[in-house]
A = this chain, B = another copy of it.
Amino acid sequence: MILKMKYKSIFYAFTFTIACFNSSAQILQPATTPNAAQKALIKRGYGMFIHFGLNTFTNVEWSDGTTPASAYNPTNLDPDQWVRTAKEAGFRYVLLVTKHHDGFCLWDSKYTDYDVASSPVKTDVVKAVSDACKKYGLQFAIYYSLWDRHEPSFKDKNPQVYINYMLNQLTELFTHYGPICEVWFDGGWKRKPSDWGIDQLYKLIKKYNPKCAVSVNHTIVNEEGTRKLTLPSLMTEDNKYFFQYFPSDFRLWDPKIITKFDKKQYLHKGKSYYLPYEHTICLSSRWNWFEKSEQLPVRSLDELQELFYWCTDNDNSLVINVPPDKTGRIREYEANAVIELGKRLGLSANKPLPKNGKFISLLKPATASSEFADKNQKYSASFVNDGSLDSRWLAADTLAELTIHLNPSDKFNKISIFEYQDTKQLPDGFSQIRTGRIQEYSIDILKDRQWETIYLSAKPMGDCKVIRFQGSYQTNQLRFRVIKATAPPSLYELSVIDDSKLKK
Interface residues of A (CB under 8 A from B): 285, 295-298, 300, 331-333, 336, 339-340, 343, 440, 442, 452-460, 462, 468-471
Task: Return the 8 tightest CB-CB contacts between A and B, nearest first.
Answer: A297-B458, A333-B456, A332-B454, A333-B453, A339-B470, A332-B452, A333-B455, A340-B470
A470 touches B295 (CB 8 A): no
Closest to A467 in B: B336
A456 touches B298 (CB 8 A): yes
A343 touches B470 (CB 8 A): yes
A462 to B454, CA, bound (A): 22
Question: What are 28 A-B residue pairs whose CB atoms fall within 8 Å in the complex?
Answer: A295-B442, A295-B453, A295-B456, A296-B456, A297-B440, A297-B457, A297-B458, A297-B459, A298-B456, A300-B459, A332-B452, A332-B453, A332-B454, A333-B442, A333-B453, A333-B454, A333-B455, A333-B456, A336-B454, A336-B455, A336-B469, A336-B470, A339-B470, A340-B470, A343-B470, A459-B460, A459-B462, A460-B460
Contacts of A331 in B (CB 8 A): 453
Contacts of A295 in B (CB 8 A): 442, 453, 456
A440 to B295, CA, bound (A): 11
What would 14 more interface pairs be, CB under 8 Å, given A297-B440, A333-B442, A336-B470? Answer: A285-B458, A295-B453, A295-B456, A296-B456, A300-B459, A332-B454, A333-B454, A333-B455, A336-B455, A340-B468, A340-B470, A459-B460, A459-B462, A460-B460
Contacts of A297 in B (CB 8 A): 440, 456-459
Contacts of A336 in B (CB 8 A): 454-455, 469-470
What is the predominant secondary structure among interface residues of chain A facing chain B?
mixed
Contacts of A440 in B (CB 8 A): 297
A279: min CB distance to chain B, Å: 23
A484: min CB distance to chain B, Å: 11
A431: min CB distance to chain B, Å: 13
Contacts of A343 in B (CB 8 A): 470
A480: min CB distance to chain B, Å: 14
A331 to B471, CA, bound (A): 15
Contacts of A300 in B (CB 8 A): 459
A501: min CB distance to chain B, Å: 18
A343 to B462, CA, bound (A): 26
Contacts of A298 in B (CB 8 A): 456
A295 to B456, CA, bound (A): 8
A26: min CB distance to chain B, Å: 42
Contacts of A332 in B (CB 8 A): 452-454
Closest to A331 in B: B453
A44: min CB distance to chain B, Å: 23
Contacts of A454 in B (CB 8 A): 332-333, 336
Closest to A457 in B: B297
A442 to B336, CA, bound (A): 13
Closest to A483 in B: B295
Closest to A334 in B: B456
Contacts of A296 in B (CB 8 A): 456
A500: min CB distance to chain B, Å: 14
Closest to A75 in B: B450
Contacts of A470 in B (CB 8 A): 336, 339-340, 343
A211: min CB distance to chain B, Å: 33
A459 to B455, CA, bound (A): 21
Contacts of A457 in B (CB 8 A): 297
Contacts of A462 in B (CB 8 A): 459
Closest to A329 in B: B452
A429 to B408, CA, bound (A): 43
A490: min CB distance to chain B, Å: 20
A99: min CB distance to chain B, Å: 29
A176 to B285, CA, bound (A): 61
Contacts of A469 in B (CB 8 A): 336
A457 to B298, CA, bound (A): 8
Closest to A327 in B: B450
